[in-house]
Amino acid sequence: MLLEVKDIYKSYKKSFNIIKKGKNEILKGVSFNLKEGECLGIIGESGSGKSTLGRLIIGVEKADSGSIHLDGIDISKTNSSSIKKKSSVVFQDYSSSVNPRFKVIDILSEPMKTFEKLTKKDRIKKAINLLDKVGLSEEYLYRYPHELSGGQLQRVCIARAIATNPEFIVLDEAISSLDVSIQVQVLDLLINLKEQMGISYIFITHDLTAITYICDRVLFFKEGVVIEEVNTMNDLKNVKEEYSRTLLHAAMMMNEEEEIYEIQRIS
Ligand SMILES: Nc1ncnc2c1ncn2[C@@H]1O[C@H](COP(=O)(O)OP(=O)(O)OP(=O)(O)O)[C@@H](O)[C@H]1O
Ligand SMILES: [Mg+2]
């Protein structure tokens, strides 16, 4: 087992006002496992705590209680750099997750500088190799983020995420702000990388269609708890909970709309 999440609770202070005390419980006993090479989808409505869970897993925030084991080691008892080496994250907002004053080579060099001692020449070599892995040519190396399209920049973010050879990547709405056709390209890229490098993914999204495309298992998330777990994608149609069915239905409606839109565009 790569990742074992057990009974995680997390709350935030209601406000910084001393008079209005109290806490908002965001995660209320979340448990799940992730195997090596697996893609686990997490779907749930806005505000249900998906990104919060993502932050706990990559060790940037701590849970109030419960445990997260990575390769059998309790992450609350390890230093954050060893978690960082094993995990990466890609966010929806690719433009704000890179420094606009950095060229692609600098963006890709950042994790290398933290974890490896490479010469400048070797960093450039590795950056070219990473770009190649995400389907971008060498010519992008010296471009600034604003000189790239959204899809290209998100590819750069994915290249940065795989630079440290992580064991797993948290993809938090990573494709949500891309055009549908570009979404498919990036999903194909992710599937490819998963097969090539044996990386596991935690794929957080509102979009069930993307989940069916890439994930092996799905957790339905509502108000900070996992209300349903689907372990084979063929069972997706048979979800029991009303909430899961609503999400499924919404996704199907969206697909139909997209198809209609597609037909209108062609005709
Ligand atoms: N640092 C924080 N301080 C206080 N409240 C927070 C903090 N981070 C998140 N929250 C609250 O926790 C709840 C869950 O937020 P989270 O971002 O995890 O939801 P989400 O499921 O990722 O939603 P979305 O699908 O919209 O991205 C929200 O009500 C949010 O306001
Ligand atoms: Mg979120």
Mind listing the pLDDT tens digit for each residue in 22-68? 889 999 999 999 999 999 999 998 999 999 999 999 999 999 999 99
Encoded amino acid at 230, one letter: V
Cα(104) to centroid of ligand 1, in Å?
30
Return d(Cα 216, Cα 249) in angstroms, integer: 20
Number of domains in the chain: 1
E strand residue ranges, the chain: 3-13, 23-34, 39-44, 65-70, 73-74, 87-91, 168-172, 200-205, 217-222, 225-230
110 has a pLDDT exceeding 70? yes
Q: How far is CA 152 from CA 19, 104, 145, in A?
A: 48, 11, 9
Residue from 42, 51, 204 to probe ligand 1 pocket by mutation (most atoms less than 8 Å from CB): 51
Structural domain that includes position 209? 3-266
Cα(56) to centroid of ligand 2, in Å?
13
Return d(Cα 7, Cα 107) in angstroms, integer: 36
Cα(126) to centroid of ligand 1, in Å?
36
More confident residue, 165 or 247: 165
CATH of the domain at 187: 3.40.50.300
Structure tokens at 215: 């994930």
Cα(12) to centroid of ligand 1, in Å?
9
- Which residue reads 């496992």 in tokens? 33
Which residues have C-beta within 8 Å of that of residue 128, sequence separation ≥ 6?
A: 138, 141
Q: Which atom of ligand 1 is nearest to the CA of 12?
A: 4
Q: Which atom of ligand 1 is nearest to the CA of 221?
A: 21
Q: Which residues line ligand 1 (CB under 6 A)?
A: 12, 26, 44, 46-52, 206
pLDDT, one tens digit per residue, over 178-208 is: 888 889 999 999 999 999 999 999 999 988 8
Give the pTM.
0.90
Please enumerate, as own/partner, the contacts of 247-254 that have beta carbons within 8 Å and a separation of 24 or more: 247/43, 247/44, 247/45, 247/208, 247/220, 248/208, 250/208, 251/207, 251/208, 251/209, 254/207, 254/209
